[in-house]
A and B are shown apart, each in its own frame.
Chain A
Amino acid sequence: MQKFKPTAIVLALSTVLLGCQDKGPQKEKVTIDKNPYPSTYQPHSSGSTLITNATVLTGTGELLEDTDVLLKDGKISQVGKDLSAQADVTIDAQGKWVTPGIIDVHSHLGAYPSPSVESHADGNEITKPNTAQVWVEHSVWPQDPGFNRAREGGITTLQILPGSANLFGGRSVTLKNVPSPTMQGMKFPDAPYGLKMACGENPKRVYGGKGVAPYTRMGNMAGYRAAWAEASEYKQAWEQYDAAYAAGLNPDAPKRDIRLDTLRGVLDGEILIHNHCYKAEEMAMMIDLSKEFNYHSGTFHHGIEAYKVADLLAENGNCAALWPDWWGFKMEAYDMVPENVAIVDAVKNSCAVVHSDSDTTIQRLNHEAAKIMNTANQAGFSLKEQDAIKWITYNAAKSLGIEEKTGSVKQGKQADIVIWDRNPFSVYSKAETVYIDGAKVYDRFDEKYQAVSDFMLGQR
C-alpha cells in the first residue's frame, strides 16, 4: 500500500477536523498494539553440529553430492565439500540426505487436535460469515500429539489456519514445531500474520443452510466486497487520525474494531492472505477483488483447478498450495489432476507449494511431493528431487513470508534441517534427525529426543 496516498486525503479532511479538534493540549496518542501476544520462543540449547558427506537438497533447485553442512549458533554456518570446521558433534551422513526443515503452510494442528473430541473443536468460528476478529493462535493446544508426529516427519515450521466455514475465518499463526507448554513458546518470531479467507461451497453451505447470506457464490463475493469497503474506510479513518495528530491537532481516535484491525492489516500489506479457493474462475475473481481494494490476494490453498489458471497465478504473484491427489469430496474438488502442482510449477515466476491440511499427511509431505513428481514425470515432465523439494521448503516459506529466515540450506539461514535415512522421495524414507535453529528436536534412535505430549504421558 502506498504510504503517500493517505496524506493526500488527510489534507482535505484535516480542514474538517480543524473546526472542532484543534484546541487545547493534545491528548495521549492512541496507538494499536499490533503484537499483543508476542513470541517467547527460544531456541533449545545447541552446540555446533557438522553433518558430513550428505546428499543435500538445498530447497532452491540444487542437489549437492558428498557435501558437508555446519550448524553453528543456530544458523547454517557453512555448506560445502570437505569442510575443515571443528564441531561439538560430527555426524557421518554418508548415504543419507539432508533437506531444509519441511514447512506445511496449511495445518490445523492444535486447533483441531487429537483426540478429535467435541471439547477440542476449536478451529472454525462458524457464527458469522466474517469473523476476521478471531485469531487461531488463541485456539492452539500445544499438547496436540500431532505436533510430535509431524516433527518426526521433518516438519519444522507450520502455519495454523482457522477453518473455512467463513468468508473471513480469522488470523493464522506460524509456529516453530518445538514442544512448548504455550503457544507463544512456539510462535515463529516476526513471521507475518495471515488472514484465512474461503471461497466457494463452504461459506455458502454453512450460511445458506441457515437461510442467511451468503447463499450463493455471488453472495460470497458481495460479502467480501462489503467487508473490504468497510475496512478501507476504517483504514482511512485511522490514517486521518494519525495525520491530524502528527499535525499537532487533537483529534478523537476512531473506535477500535478488532475485526477491522485484521482487514486493515491486509490493506497495509502487513498480513498475508491465505485463501481456501478451489476453482479456476473463483481464483480469478479473488485476484480481481484484491485489485479492486488494493491488496495482494496471497496464496490460494486447495486450488484443485490451479492448473487451469497457472499463468494467471504466476502473473499476479500468487502462490498455490495444493494437494497431490485429494478429490471428489465436493464438486469444487472434482477436477483434480495429480500433476496440478507440476503444471503450476512449470510456469515462470510461479510459486507451487504442497500442503497437507491433514494431521496424517503432514507427517509425509515428502511422500506427497514424491507422488506428484513421479506422476508428472510419467506424463512427460522431467522433474528431479531438487525441484520437488522446493514445494515443501522454499516456496512454502515464501508463501508465509519467512523465506529470508528458513526454507533452504544456505549459509546464514536458520538451521532448520532434516537428515533422512535415504532419498526422501522414496516410500521407505524416514526422517532420522530434525534440527530447529541448530538444536536437535528429534532423533529416531534416541528417546531423549522424542517428545511426548502431556496428553499421551502415562496413557500407553
Chain B
Amino acid sequence: MNKFKISLLTSALLASSAAFAQITAITNAKVHTLTDAGTLEGATVVIEDGTITAINPTSIEADVTIDAQGRVLTPGFIGSMNQLGLVEVSAVAGSRDAGDDKADVDFDASPAFNPRSSLIPYGRKGGITQNVVMPHGGKSIFKGLAFVVDLSGEFDSVLKTRTALLVDMDASSTGSRAMKYKTLAEKLEGQQQKLSDKGKKDDKKAAKKPSQEEQVLTAVLKGEMPVVVGVERASDILEVLKVKEQFGLNLVLWGVNDAVLVKEEIAKANVPVVISAVSNLPTSFSSLHADLTNAGELERAGVKVLLSGFAFEGAHNLYQLRFDAGIAVAHGMSYEGALKAVSSNIADVFDLDGGKIASGQRADLVLWSADPFEFTTTLDKLWINGEEVSTESRHDKLRDRYTTDSDMPRAYTK
C-alpha cells in the first residue's frame, strides 16, 4: 500500500475502527492459524502496518481493540484458476481481456487487470482477499502467465506477476493430445539446448538478451516458476508426471478429475493438485472418476489439495469457494485440510504472502460469526493488508433500491 495514500485517507480512517498504520488487536478469537500452532481458542492477533506482528503477546498495546467474543478468525481465502478483473461480463467482447489468439508462453494479462471490476467487492463477500488470476490464452497449448492480486479494489492490487505458466494438456475437439506432448517437449528441449549452448560458448548470439519467452522457459526449467498443467485423464496425468521428471518442472496439476486413480504416483512426485470440490459428473471421457469424495481421498493419500471454484462459478461467484470447501468436508475431507485448501496451500504453491495467521505474515484476515463454511455464518470483518475493507457491492445497492419504500420512482433511491 502506498504511504502517501494513507496520509490522504487518515482523516477518514480515524473515524473507522481499524485505521491503517495503527496497531489493531483482535482479542478473544478462535484462530485457525493454519500453521503448526493449530487452532487457538480465545486468542489475540495483533496487526500493524499491514502485517501480523504478534499472536497471543504477553501484553497488548493497541490503538484499536476488537473483542471477537469467541468468533472465528481465519486467513483471507485465496481464489485461483479464474479470470477475476479480466472479464466483466462474459458475453460482452469488449469487457474480456483474458485471452488472445496470439497468446503464448509469455502472455502476461496483468496490465489489463481492472481492480474496479464489480466482481471484486462481490468476491470479498466470501472472505476472498487474494486471487491467482489465470489467463485463457489462445490457440497455443501455452495459455500464458498467472498473476496475483489482492481484492482491495485499489489500483496497486497486482501483487505479483509471472507467477506460473499455464499449459493445457487436456483433450481438444480437434487434433490429438499426442501433438501437445510433442509441442511441450520441443519447446522445453529447445530452451534447454539454448541454455546449454550459452554455457559452452560466449559468442554474440548467446550474449543477446533473452526474449520474454526464453526468460519464462528458463525460469520453468530451473524450477523457479511453477507450471500449472490442465489435465483430466489418469493416463495423461502419468504422462505429465514423466514430463515433470524429465525437465525438473515445478508442476501443479489442475482439473484432474481422474487423479484418484493415480493418487499414489501424484503424492510420490510431490505434486499439488487444484480441483473443484463439486465436480462429480463424467463430463468427458477424460473425467470418468469425478466424485465429491475426491478431495478427501487425495488428501488422505498425502497429496496437497487446492480448491478452486467450479468452472461456471468462475470469478463472478468466487464468494462460493467457502461453501465448496464445506461440501468437500461433508464428503470426507478434513476440516483443517479444507481450510488450507482455500488459503495456505494456495499461498504455498504460488509462493504468496498470506494464507496463514503467523507473525510476519501479511495481515489478510477474516472474522466470521461462526464456521466459515456454513451458510448461516456471516462475515463480520475483513482486513486486506491490515486495512479493514467493506464487503458492500453494487448488488447491495440494487437490493436496497428495490426494497426501500419511497414516494419517488426507484431511480431516485441511491
Contacts and interface: CB of A to CB of B under 8 A. Distances in A.
Interface residues of A, number: 51
B330 A378 contact: no
Nearest to A332: B91
A427 B399 contact: no
A443 to B, nearest CB: 17
A279 interface: no
Contacts of B218: none
A378 B380 CA distance: 11
Interface in B324-377: 326-327, 329-330, 373-376
Interface string B371-414: 00111101000000000000000011011001100000010000
Contact of B316 (A328, A380, A430): A328
A411 interface: no
Interface stretch (A207-215, A252-260, A336-344): A336-344
Range for the number of chain B residues in contact with chain A: 35 or more
A405 interface: no
B375 A427 contact: yes
A307 B399 contact: yes
A307 B376 contact: no
B210 to A, nearest CB: 39
Contacts of B378: 378
Q: Chain A CB within 10 Å — which of B279, B284, B289, B403 has the most? A: B403
B310 interface: yes
A305 to B, nearest CB: 9
B316 A329 contact: yes
Interface in B166-212: 173
B21 interface: no
B1 to A, nearest CB: 28
B334 to A, nearest CB: 13
Interface string A87-125: 000000000000000000000000000111110000000
Nearest to B286: A115
A102 B41 CA distance: 40
Closest 7 CB pairs of A and B: A427-B326, A330-B91, A328-B316, A370-B375, A329-B90, A337-B399, A428-B330
Interface of A: 114-118, 145-146, 149, 201, 205, 307-308, 310, 325-331, 333-339, 343, 358-360, 363-364, 367, 370-371, 373-374, 378-380, 425-430, 455-456, 459-460
8 contacts: A114-B283, A310-B402, A329-B91, A331-B91, A367-B327, A426-B375, A427-B374, A456-B288
Given A146-B281, A379-B399, A428-B373, 20 more contacts: A114-B281, A117-B285, A145-B281, A205-B91, A307-B399, A307-B402, A308-B402, A328-B89, A331-B91, A331-B92, A337-B398, A343-B403, A359-B281, A360-B280, A425-B376, A426-B376, A427-B373, A430-B330, A455-B282, A456-B282
